[in-house]
Structure 1
Amino acid sequence: MIKKISHKKGVLVFTFAILLLAVFIHSREESSHSIEIDLEQIASPGLQDESLVYEQQVKPVLERRCVVCHGCYDAPCQLKLSSIEGLRRGASKERIYEPKRISTMKPTRLFIDAKTTQQWRSRGFTPVLNEAQNTPKDNLANSLLYRLLRLKKQHPQPEQSLLPDSFTLGLNREESCPTLATVDDYAEKHPLWGMPYAMPNLTEKEYRTIVSWLGRGAPASQPVKPSSAVLPQIEQWEDFLNRGFRKQKLVSRYLYEHLFHAHIHFSGSPAREFYRLVRSTTPSGEPVNEIPTLRPYDDPGSAKFYYRLLIYQPTVVAKNHIVYEFSGERMARYRTLFLDPDYEVSKLPSYRADITTNPFKTFAAIPATSRYQFLLDDAHFFIEGFIKGPVCRGQIALDVIEDRFWVLFFDPNRPIITNNGQFINEMADELQVPADGGSNLELLRIWTDYWKGQRRYMETKQAWFKTIGTHDLDHAMQFIWNGEGKNPNAALTVFRHFDSGSVAYGLVGETPETTWVIDYPLFERIHYLLVAGFDVYGSLGHRLSTRIYMDFLRMEGEDYFLAFLPANKRKAIRDKWYMGQRRAIDELFSAPQAWLSTEAVRGYQTDDPQRELYQKISNRLSRVAEKAVAMSHCGKLRCDDIAPDRRKKKADRAMQRIAQLQGENLHAFPDVAFVRVTTGKPGEDFAYTLIHNKAYKNVTSFFADERERERADIKNDSMTVVKWLEGSYPNFFFTVALSEVEEFTRHCTTIRTHDDYKKFVDKYGVRRTNPAFWQLADWFQDAFARHKPVLSGLFDLNRYHNR
């Protein structure tokens, strides 16, 4: 008996030793994965198929696994992988978003500031592709991209609960930016830092696809050309924009300065075909030669230039995808707004700095109501411009705003002083915004020039405000633009996700603490401060002066909202808003307060006039509410699948319980989380977004983050749940079966601590270490593209949490 047991024990030990040896050999093979192995794969017959082309096989992998972190100005090491030109340009250690940078930096806009690889080398960019002899071995050995992919292959990402602390994931983390000369030291020091960084490995097929392509010299397809359906429209639009009479020239300049950042989509064209409006030295019919000015109002030079439409080559990413449609109806609208009205342009304005930086001077000849209506027609586009911005981060704007607020607009046809063109022309000097991106002296002018001008403007408006008398509440509502009952741009909701933001159509969520009401001068200044005039490469003084002036504009919009409330309630409500850094700004720049005691609206029936006002506003905008929901859901005025079926109603009810969570119960939640509800039929799964609205009332620093929030702020946190994918930077993914959605909600509502949240994530979350991460990320990308084929872009995964 004893011998029998010993024999069995020996067999077990031997078997265990064999298994250990197999694991050891496998790990050795992984860690010693050599270039020779990859070269053999390149040479194998199966991978020499001509179908291995950039567009069909390589580009999809690059987009879903690389561009999701390397797609804009904030790409790590400026390695922008959204186009083959970005790959060929390579990487740079110079950071664009550098909080400590005092002076300006030289612009590095792809396709604009340098056109050839050699020009980028002279600018300090280092290669990530082979630039030596074109052989398979050299193409891999001299490719930094390959070396980092192989590093990940040799040292796969841990599949444990959380990534180790050795990974740095903060937004402003120090970037290593290895070069071909330093990559061996980098690999020795950080063996787990291969690409994709801090994400699961590529599949074997994906790895082979990219490596084989690199081994063949990274060939790419020819640049995309305009489709046949678009060519006639391009010709029509370029003819329209370049007509020679003064009125048209001034209008075209106005359009360009407001649309330069747009991804223009032509009506009836392929869903993923976009264009940029640029200034070129060449006329229609010749290749575009873009004039590389930093801002759209900069002097293009003395030679004649032309407005041209240039096809957008890079992969579209959500964080800077701001779509504007050109069509026959749009051109007719421009004629109605700008060309049909009877006004004269006796002289075209110069590009002198004191003129061109002030739109109220440059475009004084164009009727103010036409300019305002142009902005209102597509208010979502223009508000999204300053929230997203053409520079991928909206933090300058976001630092001064609440996490969620509503945006309304004054009716352009109502007799308010800011609809009066003569008044605006008289106030043009007072309406100047900071515009010098290169000088730190601009910060001093906040006190000496800009605030004094803003104060004079406010005093003039308040003098008029005293003369308008008192209006019945229902009559006062007519001063709020309702989009003529058909335009969903009449009401918008802005979400702040700490260092990014998004804009939804309609009044989304519970009534917010604050709301902006915007008039024409405010709308125009926001655009010129944060879009047309903002220089992402600018000095510290430029960034700070922009930040402070944005506070002036935020206060202006909020004060317009307060003016609709009873005079005896305004100050208490305003004081409740102005705490922390807001109070510091309010004390530093003491604004005229006479309007606070001037009664303008009567007829409130309750002791909660703000809630009563919100109800009146909702009624005023009720005719566009359904269209707003459709636009947020599918990007069209009507959606085929917006009506909830029995299954979605069940999930909706469950999610509404999460939307009622408040305060410390939300402390562990990320800013933006996507939830996939699975039905058992993948084609019928659907999604929600959980948006954590954080309060920043008591924060005193301009540059504070969520870690510096006080408990008094955390108690004011709330949750908004929407039935579409909202935001460009998801912080976390959850997946739950429809049959478990009520348990998901119940579990969610019981979270009190970080440990509770960890258990919740263990059950429903998908961490960076989860092998199923890429599959779920692809599902969300596909769902976004399916619901919004024109408006969608790739979500950015740089801010994905490690929790």
Structure 2
Amino acid sequence: MKKPVQGRIYASVILVASIIFLLPGYQQQEEQVKPRVIAETQTYSFVNNVKPILDNKCLACHSCYDAPCQLKMESWHGVERGASKRQVYDGGRLKDASPTRLYIDAQTAQEWRNKGFYSVLSEYVHEEDQTTLPLMQQMLDLGQSNPLPLNTKVPDTIQLGFDRVNSCPAPGEFSDYAEKFPHGGMPLAVSGLDKQEFKTLSTWLKQGAKIDSQPITLSDTEQLMIKRWESWLNQSDKRSRLLSRYLYEHLFLGHLYLTRADQSGNSTPAFYQLIRSFTPPGNKAVIVPTVRPNDDPEQLFYYRLIPVPGTIVHKTHITYRFDADRLEHYQQLFSSADWNVETLPGYGYEERSNPFITFAAIPAKLRYRFLLNDARFFVRNFIRGPVCRGQIATNVIRDQFWVMFEDPGFELYSNNPQYQSSVNDYLGLPGEKSSLLDFGSQWFNYNNDRNTYLDLRQKAYQQAYPSGAALQHIWDGDQTNNNAFLTVFRHHNSASVTSGWQGEIPLTAWVMGYPLLERTYYELVVNFDVFGSVSHQAQTRLYFDLIRNGSETNFLRFMPAASRQAIYSDWYQASAKIKAKITYHDLDSQTPSDITYSSTKPKEELLQILMHRYPTLTSAEDSINRCNACNDPPTRSAATQASIALRSIAAKPASTLAGIKWLPEATFVRINSVQGDGLQHAAKPFLAYTLLRNRRHSSVAYLLGESLRYQEDLDTLTILPEPVGSYPNLILQLDVSQLDDFVTSFSNIDSKRSFNQFVQHWGVGRMNPQFWQVFHSFTDYMQATNPLEAGVYDMNRYGHW
């Protein structure tokens, strides 16, 4: 009786397999890549002719981990690697995925083919001996043959934005793709290539897509500086080895810069990455391909500096000075206290999950000072790094909040070794065990440890400072360091960090001591795996929720004891009150504050006191967002005119300025001004501003259900005189003479229809023939005003304008 059943099962399997084999996704198995034939005579050079087009028309979408189809175009390596159907950001995968990091996880085109990437430069041969054009050419042809009309709004039927599902046709699937997406050619839904650009790319592809990459040449000065760094980082004694490991784990994500003179003698930054290499200095670097920077390399390695390859894109460009002065500072800082290392820590689970134990031999006071001196860099690492990509990643923080730090002279952990040893075991971080089966137990264990630590911390601070927190407990940046006071802006599914306190006085503020700052960095940067499972990602984000709560309640220590609960309840409304009782540590409403208040609004009063004390470091003079009695300069420059006009719409709630309700998160504004007042671009000076929409929620205590907590009428607008954020959602353009009309027009918005009319009048749409010129003018602006921070902006979040 079993045989017929088995036979039917076997036949069914064969049938299903046959059907699957005929599906479009499997047709590519019948195709073979045709080796590229490089023409002897090349009409165009990749470096001089092709790459500038890719930088100008392709890179704004095709870069970083969120490049559509993993087709990265920052350098020729990504173009040669090609595309893949696999997603990097996948919030639903049950197991960790194998990483596909450019330059690291494969080195040759064939190695990438073995990992599922297919060429976009080569022709393919069908089983019928038919040859298809390179996939890039087919995409360009589709864009040229079926473009959207210029100066029209992109139809909503074309899926754009962060949440779109990228369609990544393999070479044999393109005809189906073109039929399904007739306007899916490249560049996608934006004014495309001009005739010469199309001719250049098509000719280059037809002639074999030769890549004439040029090696990066280093000046004698750069080579000498790199040699000094590598010699210092690779010293063999245990103390040096532990320190180098600590530095590497904190700098691996950064773009470390030296300076070099260009042909005109001007100083320009040169950017490098700090890596672990299997090869010693003097040899070609071979990157240790571990998933995390604190994973076991399993063999001898060396710390090396290598140039950052390709074109700089803003979203990954987190800069850090790494010159001779920095080396001297490190040498002085880490030799300013006596410390020794008896046994070097390993790379096991305990060492990776608890940096406080791993690096206990390095005095905590020195570690904290190292982080404080460049706090903006480290905060940017976890606010702008790979972890903060997507709404679930960012919706555990407010849309705008101010950050400050405990003074290193009073911060308890870094000054009390006995207290350190009593709490170190409770400072471990979740996420190392990424199995779905481990999720529940891991989370409960680490949440309990965190609350136990806060019990011990609260008692220790009460004992050390019985009068409570005082003003001098807040770091003043040693009067000169602009890392002391920071602002974080959330742009719905991304975030950014600026120096100083920007915008209106926020709803919440953070105070971070050493354990908070170090744990945040390790949880969201060092230990975060962008290819990790849903369990790993959930543990990371849930712990970030605890970090935020701990930073907020640390700020509340400076409030009068009797005022804390009311402020806290305003931050955690409705169902968040339940979470506050179940998950968070109990709020301390008993310990006094050692600050005398004279108003009924102590939060606002404290922040005003600090701005008055440190006006330069806090950016207290905000002529747009916090202007009660501004002293405008007598000369009416374009910048002054803009500030006066724009302040009338800044910091107002959406209940009185309805236009905010339809404005996207980050809007770049270009104001063309008069000759000699501004910056030169395309023969027109201009000023750059950003309109940031700050969404208000009853709480940010949960990862999901954000819309249920949204308080739209309380949304506000922050206006900053520079580009802020890496992902503009909209660009507006006007002349300085039109400022009053612009403000009046925005103030009169009262419906979606009137907002669309406003955008139609002032906006720079995707199909505007000047779109790319205006879009890249903001990079040019940064290159002229702040070249260290300049990079190509990303347009994956630009709307259907």
How would you bin the TM-score normalised by the shorter chain? 0.7 to 0.9
Give the TM-score, by structure 2 length: 0.88
Distance 2:575 2:118 in 1: 42
Is 1:650 the counterpart of 2:646 in the alignment?
Answer: no
Contact 1:437-1:538 at 8 Å conserved across structures: no
User: Which of 544, 548, 556 is residue 550 of structure 1 equivalent to?
Assistant: 544
SS for the counterpart of 1:769 is coil
Deviations, residues 256-309 of structure 1 (Å, cap 9, x unaligned): 0100111111144663531111111111101101110111110011x3211011
C-alpha deviation, 1:414, in angstroms? 1.8
Is 1:157 the counterpart of 2:148 in the alignment?
Answer: yes
SS for the counterpart of 1:364 is coil
Which residue of the partner structure matches residue 316 of structure 1?
312
User: Which of 747, 750, 756 is residue 749 of structure 1 equivalent to?
Assistant: 747
User: Which of 343, 347, 354 is residue 343 of structure 2 equivalent to?
Assistant: 347
User: Which of 377, 382, 405 is residue 381 of structure 1 equivalent to?
Assistant: 377
Contact 1:678-1:738 at 8 Å conserved across structures: yes
Deviations, residues 687-712 of structure 1 (Å, cap 9, x unaligned): 1100001112267862346xx256x6
C-alpha deviation, 1:563, in angstroms? 0.7
C-alpha deviation, 1:85, in angstroms? 1.1
SS for the counterpart of 2:268 is coil
Distance 1:549 1:738 in 2: 47
SS for the counterpart of 2:787 is coil
User: Which of 491, 497, 504 is residue 503 of structure 1 equivalent to?
Assistant: 497
SS for the counterpart of 1:489 is coil
Is 1:448 the counterpart of 2:439 in the alignment?
Answer: no
Distance 2:766 2:616 in 1: 44
SS for the counterpart of 1:684 is strand
Is 1:58 the counterpart of 2:55 in the alignment?
Answer: no
Contact 1:647-1:738 at 8 Å conserved across structures: yes
Stretch deviating more after TM superposition (156-165 or 276-285): 156-165
Deviations, residues 308-358 of structure 1 (Å, cap 9, x unaligned): 111111221111111111111111111122134211111111112212331
Letter in 2 for 1:356: R
Check 1:611–1:392 CA distance in 2 against 1; reply closer, same or farther (3 A cut). closer
Contact 1:318-1:794 at 8 Å conserved across structures: yes
Contact 1:670-1:692 at 8 Å conserved across structures: yes
Letter in 2 for 1:410: E
Is 1:210 the counterpart of 2:201 in the alignment?
Answer: yes
Letter in 1 for 2:487: T
Distance 1:794 1:437 in 2: 36
User: Which of 580, 597, 603 is residue 610 of structure 1 equivalent to?
Assistant: 603
Is 1:370 the counterpart of 2:366 in the alignment?
Answer: yes
Which residue of the partner structure matches residue 593 of structure 2?
600
Aligned runs of 1:43-122 on 2, under 5 Å? 52-122=44-114
Letter in 1 for 2:396: V
C-alpha deviation, 1:378, in angstroms? 0.6
Letter in 2 for 1:294: V
Aligned runs of 1:512-527 on 2, under 5 Å? 512-527=506-521
Distance 1:700 1:609 in 2: 24
Distance 2:411 2:502 in 1: 29
Aligned runs of 1:589-738 on 2, under 5 Å? 589-593=583-587, 595-625=588-618, 646-664=637-655, 665=658, 666-679=660-673, 681=675, 682-697=683-698, 702-704=703-705, 708=707, 713-738=711-736
SS for the counterpart of 2:149 is coil
Deviations, residues 59-101 of structure 1 (Å, cap 9, x unaligned): 1210121110010100111111111111111111111112222
Check 1:750–1:449 CA distance in 2 against 1; reply closer, same or farther (3 A cut). same
Which residue of the partner structure matches residue 280 of structure 2?
283
Check 1:437–1:724 CA distance in 2 against 1; reply closer, same or farther (3 A cut). farther
C-alpha deviation, 1:179, in angstroms? 1.6
Which residue of the partner structure matches residue 488 of structure 2?
494
Check 1:703–1:590 CA distance in 2 against 1; reply closer, same or farther (3 A cut). closer
Aligned runs of 1:463-478 on 2, under 5 Å? 463-468=459-464, 471=467, 476-478=470-472
Letter in 2 for 1:620: R
User: Which of 777, 780, 787 is residue 779 of structure 1 equivalent to?
Assistant: 777
Check 1:357–1:394 CA distance in 2 against 1; reply closer, same or farther (3 A cut). farther
SS for the counterpart of 1:371 is helix
Check 1:421–1:627 CA distance in 2 against 1; reply closer, same or farther (3 A cut). farther
Contact 1:103-1:539 at 8 Å conserved across structures: yes
Distance 1:380 1:471 in 2: 31
Distance 1:780 1:709 in 2: 36
Letter in 1 for 2:607: Y
Distance 1:709 1:680 in 2: 47
Distance 2:550 2:472 in 1: 20
RMSD: 2.6
C-alpha deviation, 1:381, in angstroms? 0.4
Deviations, residues 549-590 of structure 1 (Å, cap 9, x unaligned): 111111110001111011111001001101367445324314
Contact 1:472-1:603 at 8 Å conserved across structures: no
User: Which of 293, 297, 302 is residue 300 of structure 1 equivalent to?
Assistant: 297
Contact 1:505-1:628 at 8 Å conserved across structures: no
SS for the counterpart of 2:270 is coil
Which residue of the partner structure matches residue 573 of structure 1?
567
Is 1:528 the counterpart of 2:522 in the alignment?
Answer: yes
Distance 1:731 1:468 in 2: 49
Letter in 2 for 1:783: Y
Is 1:426 the counterpart of 2:419 in the alignment?
Answer: no
Which residue of the partner structure matches residue 9 of structure 2?
none
Is 1:483 the counterpart of 2:477 in the alignment?
Answer: yes
Check 1:61–1:729 CA distance in 2 against 1; reply closer, same or farther (3 A cut). same
Letter in 1 for 2:480: K
Distance 2:598 2:201 in 1: 68
Contact 1:266-1:327 at 8 Å conserved across structures: yes
- The unaligned stretches of length 5 or more in structure 2 are 1-37, 262-266, 624-632, 676-682
Distance 2:786 2:175 in 1: 44
Distance 1:672 1:92 in 2: 30
C-alpha deviation, 1:678, in angstroms? 1.0
Which residue of the partner structure matches residue 457 of structure 1?
453
Which residue of the partner structure matches residue 796 of structure 1?
794
Which residue of the partner structure matches residue 438 of structure 1?
434
SS for the counterpart of 2:171 is coil
Is 1:127 the counterpart of 2:119 in the alignment?
Answer: yes
User: Which of 128, 137, 141 is residue 146 of structure 1 equivalent to?
Assistant: 137
Deviations, residues 583-623 of structure 1 (Å, cap 9, x unaligned): 45324314233x22221224111111111111112133325
Letter in 1 for 2:208: G
Letter in 1 for 2:800: N
Stretch deviating more after TM superposition (543-552 or 265-274): 265-274
Check 1:570–1:323 CA distance in 2 against 1; reply closer, same or farther (3 A cut). same
Distance 1:392 1:609 in 2: 32
Letter in 1 for 2:221: A
Which residue of the partner structure matches residue 186 of structure 1?
177
SS for the counterpart of 2:714 is coil
Stretch deviating more after TM superposition (518-527 or 314-323): 314-323
Contact 1:433-1:525 at 8 Å conserved across structures: yes
Check 1:590–1:311 CA distance in 2 against 1; reply closer, same or farther (3 A cut). closer
Letter in 1 for 2:271: F
Aligned runs of 1:130-279 on 2, under 5 Å? 130=122, 141-159=132-150, 161-220=152-211, 221-268=213-260, 271=268, 273-279=270-276
Which residue of the partner structure matches residue 585 of structure 1?
579
Check 1:414–1:280 CA distance in 2 against 1; reply closer, same or farther (3 A cut). same
Which residue of the partner structure matches residue 763 of structure 1?
761
Distance 1:643 1:585 in 2: 53
Letter in 2 for 1:315: T
Percent of residue pairs bearing the same amino acid type:
39
Which residue of the partner structure matches residue 630 of structure 2?
none
Deviations, residues 217-262 of structure 1 (Å, cap 9, x unaligned): 2222233243333111110000000011111111000000100111
